[in-house]
Structure 1
């Protein structure tokens, strides 16, 4: 009997077991401890930044980053419309207003020229733009060089991009501050968790303070600020440390899967892979884009075929400007994100897929194409 093939299931091994057992035996089961300190240092080195703060989620990292930059009520924050809701939600948590900008058709990342236009329009209206939050979509870094000179703090949402790079720089090193996610489906997982990255020591210290309920360093409980219970636990950090030792191997397996998809669809008219040809992408998710008029079938058709064979796929993120909760927000649109949502399909991309599971996926796609 076949087991379900997931889009991006956690990839764990005996290495993770050893790290977790050692953490438990050390007695550091409480929220902080030596594994958390070590994990922060190791991630900072990997991402080429001076400081890292382990937190409970990528969303928490974004929230803290915005707060530390002084983002708050009355300000606008520019966010890609093609992203997971957490990017926009973190802006709302601060009391600021998310405004949405459309995508580039090649890789789905935010359109830098449209960001510049949106920022200029908002300023002409007398609005303060508190930050821009580009998203490294599906593990491909956005074009940060094109945002140089914007005069607005950049918060890199690198939740999907650990291990990726662009222009010789690693994901997580762009902008004033960055956020990583270690959710269960990410390229590296701590079950749940995230990391804030920055080269600014004062900003890192501020975020660390806010993440620990803003408790003052005195014997009794003293609080001058409203804080948050956002710190990553020492036990989960141990899991992350183990995963980090295997990161390059896991990225290589995802890249191998993408190469397989490239070959499978190379001769299929009307199909392409989002961001194909980007050597710095970590290939977290491989996204097929289908022109139904040319291909004779849609992304949804393939998704339904694979679902019937217990193989999970997922549409591209539904744009934020089309989400009921954000429909009244400002947006600078070209239609690209809407088209990618209608025509894109995330294919199974997990590094834990073994040979038999990969064959099932590729054979199922071949059978589908054979019927067309």
Structure 2
């Protein structure tokens, strides 16, 4: 049996331990220190955002954004239905009501037409939209941002999966009022766990920093007028992040190369459709994803697992989760169809072309 090939395994740059040792030498282990600042600076320099805040997770970053924007109990917040639950949980933390918007076939991401239609017809105006850049690919973000501006809606970009992706040369996460990135263990870069909140509004980031450090007032004693959270990233994890950011473009290049290998080996199979890349965008291809028109993705997953290769279904839409069965949803059937037909293939940046060929051979042998 070959060594297990994971969906998206951590891939160290080689400098992580060196920077961690410097953290230990300084004894600034947590919560803050030199490498937290360096990590935030590396994100700002790479994405072009004016301000960045390193926190414990991407979900924490979204939660802080909602809190800073004044989202409160009873408010409506729209979100992509075709996404991971982390971004939706943040809405629930604020006691707000999620409203799910379906996908478009052209990008698999949130559909601008459905978004605009709902905003033109709804009786109660939502306060914000959380749009996910799915599987490392840009949503139709320029149109979405224009619609939000037209209707006076705050825009938060869940770019947890899309660090390194761009639209018209501008990084995902930088089109809205806030953007977030995740550095969970399987992302394109990892700090084992962590996230970043970005915004060009310095006051908002300062307020988010205040909330993320238990909302402590500027006194020598512990004074609190508001409640906050323990959301700041540790100096140790930030040191890992600094080392990871040194190889971000190498990782994007390799992810995109892996996608091209899959495409090369499977291009003649008519029932397979890969996730499309929006025109004038660059996806980071965090995961190579595709749909089968006839073959069951469960059959393919079982066959891959038998040769020790990890895969998984596409996201189950939020409106199909039992937690959200009575939640307002604006649907066109696209996300449900994608979930029923789709699969995420192993895309670790340590993979070779032979690994991809072996996976594709297994897929070929198990097609209906």
Under a length normalisation based on structure 1, what TM-score does the superposition of the two structures give? 0.94
Is structure 2 residue 46 aligned with structure 1 residue 70? no
Gap runs ≥5 in structure 2? none
Taking the aligned partners of 1:11 and 1:354, their CA distance within structure 2 comes to 14
**Map of 1:353 onto structure 2:** 351
Does the CA-based 8 Å contact 2:6-2:309 persist in structure 1? yes
Does the CA-based 8 Å contact 2:138-2:278 persist in structure 1? no
Does the CA-based 8 Å contact 1:271-1:291 persist in structure 2? yes
Structure 1 residues 101 and 363, CA, compared in 2 at 3 Å: closer, same or farther? same
Paired residue total: 363
Cα distance, 1:360 vs. partner? 3.6
Give the 3-state SS of the residue equivalent to 1:133 in structure 2. strand
Deviations 1:229-259 (A, max 9, x none): 0000111000000000011111111111100
| Alpha-carbon RMSD | 1.5
Cα distance, 1:361 vs. partner? 2.5
Does the CA-based 8 Å contact 1:315-1:346 persist in structure 2? yes
Give the 3-state SS of the residue equivalent to 1:134 in structure 2. strand
Taking the aligned partners of 1:25 and 1:99, their CA distance within structure 2 comes to 48
Structure 1 residues 17 and 363, CA, compared in 2 at 3 Å: closer, same or farther? farther
Structure 1 residues 259 and 176, CA, compared in 2 at 3 Å: closer, same or farther? same
**Map of 1:141 onto structure 2:** 138
Taking the aligned partners of 2:140 and 2:278, their CA distance within structure 1 comes to 15
Give the 3-state SS of the residue equivalent to 1:267 in structure 2. coil
- Larger mean Cα displacement after TM superposition, 301-310 or 158-167: 301-310
Cα distance, 1:91 vs. partner? 0.6
Cα distance, 1:150 vs. partner? 3.3
Structure 1 residues 23 and 363, CA, compared in 2 at 3 Å: closer, same or farther? farther
Does the CA-based 8 Å contact 1:265-1:272 persist in structure 2? no
Deviations 1:167-218 (A, max 9, x none): 2211121101111110000011000000000000100000000000001111
- Larger mean Cα displacement after TM superposition, 17-26 or 155-164: 17-26
**Map of 2:288 onto structure 1:** 286
Cα distance, 1:120 vs. partner? 2.4
Taking the aligned partners of 2:293 and 2:361, their CA distance within structure 1 comes to 22
Give the 3-state SS of the residue equivalent to 1:100 in structure 2. strand
Structure 1 residues 60 and 255, CA, compared in 2 at 3 Å: closer, same or farther? same
1:127-276 correspondence to structure 2 within 5 Å: 127-147=124-144, 148=146, 149-276=150-277
Structure 1 residues 97 and 87, CA, compared in 2 at 3 Å: closer, same or farther? same
Gap runs ≥5 in structure 1? none
- Larger mean Cα displacement after TM superposition, 275-284 or 248-257: 275-284
Does the CA-based 8 Å contact 2:20-2:240 persist in structure 1? yes
Does the CA-based 8 Å contact 1:212-1:230 persist in structure 2? yes
Taking the aligned partners of 1:235 and 1:323, their CA distance within structure 2 comes to 36
Taking the aligned partners of 1:359 and 1:246, their CA distance within structure 2 comes to 25
